[in-house]
Amino acid sequence: MDFNLENKSKANETKNNSKNKNKNKNLGNNVVCATPSNDTRNHYQAMISEVFKDSKNDKLMIMGVGNDLKGDDGFGVELVRFLRRYYVRKLHLQDEIINEDIDKYENEAENETDYIEVFKIKDNLVLLDSGVVPENFTDLIKAEKPSKIVIVDAALMHKEFGTIDLIDENQLATVGFSTHALPLSVLIKYIKSNIDTDISIVGFEPYSLEFGNTLSKEAGCILQEFSKEFALKIDEFLKF
């Protein structure tokens, strides 16, 4: 069973979406975000800790899924882009080499030209911006063999707008994902049948899914806070 589909329209949509990252890359810089409550921060920290609980830290893959031209559906891919910029700057200061050429990727993080969907950091972290076609990256996933995969995606979980929560695999049938050509449940089953990995799904309840728009102000503010907490936990998990 091969999920690397010849879906040119979807693939082109992903490629075209990547050209629009500049619209979101500094998201929130001109927006005043309210300070999150202690309860919100505690929820983020507890949930992220649960994601990594009892997981092997051999190799971690963060997979962002979504359409960044469909409002808050781009939450997952924007999270991955935040992490890319975070680690380029963090590891550059530590004189670490990322992939082939740190200067190339630092330039890319600043200018977002010649965008690359797969970003490998050291030997144990892979950041994957899969756009709307996560099934097209199954060969990569099988080759990398991550011991832990975290999928981040906007999801209609029937919860309060802006909620970020873990989605149990057994509940995927009751959750709506707006831009998938292939159900996540099928994709996850396929991945697990090919490699030994633990998969967690982080869902974001969107405020808006209006086509032609980037993240809403509310989603952008939540992204800022959650991304920081997420990056700190990745550092701890991988001992960066």
Q: Residue 148 and residue 238: Cα distance in Å, rounded? A: 11
pLDDT band for position 14 (cuts 50, 70, 90): very low
- The mean-pLDDT minimum among 45-49, 111-115, 141-145, 175-179 falls in 111-115
| Residue of 142, 163, 143, 146 whose CA lies nearest to 154 | 163
**pLDDT, the chain, mean:** 82
- Give me the percent of the chain exceeding a pLDDT of 90: 58
Burial zone of 131 (CB within 10 Å; 0-12 exposed, 13-18 middle, 19+ buried) = buried
Question: What pLDDT is stored for residue 146 in this prediction?
Answer: 97
- Give me the percent of the chain exceeding a pLDDT of 70: 76
Per-residue three-class SS string for 158-171: CCCCCCEEEECHHH
Question: What pLDDT is stored for residue 170 in this prediction?
Answer: 85
Q: Residue 142 and residue 195: Cα distance in Å, rounded? A: 6
184 has a pLDDT exceeding 70: yes
pLDDT band for position 21 (cuts 50, 70, 90): very low
Q: What is the mean pLDDT of residues 120-126?
A: 90
Q: Residue 211 and residue 209: Cα distance in Å, rounded? A: 6
129 has a pLDDT exceeding 60: yes
Q: What is the pTM assigned to this prediction?
A: 0.81
Reported as a single tens digit per residue, the pLDDT across 49-102 is 999 998 888 999 999 999 999 999 999 999 999 999 999 888 776 655 444 444
pLDDT higher for 174 or 194?
194
Contact 238, 60 (CB under 8 A): yes
Residue corresponding to tokens 């075209």: 16
Question: What pLDDT is stored for residue 201 in this prediction?
Answer: 95
Domain 8-26+56-238, what architecture? 3-Layer(aba) Sandwich (3.40)
- The mean-pLDDT minimum among 24-28, 119-123, 180-184, 236-240 falls in 24-28
Q: Under DSSP, is residue 32 helix (H, G, I), strand (E, B) or coil?
A: coil
Domain ranges of the chain: 8-26+56-238
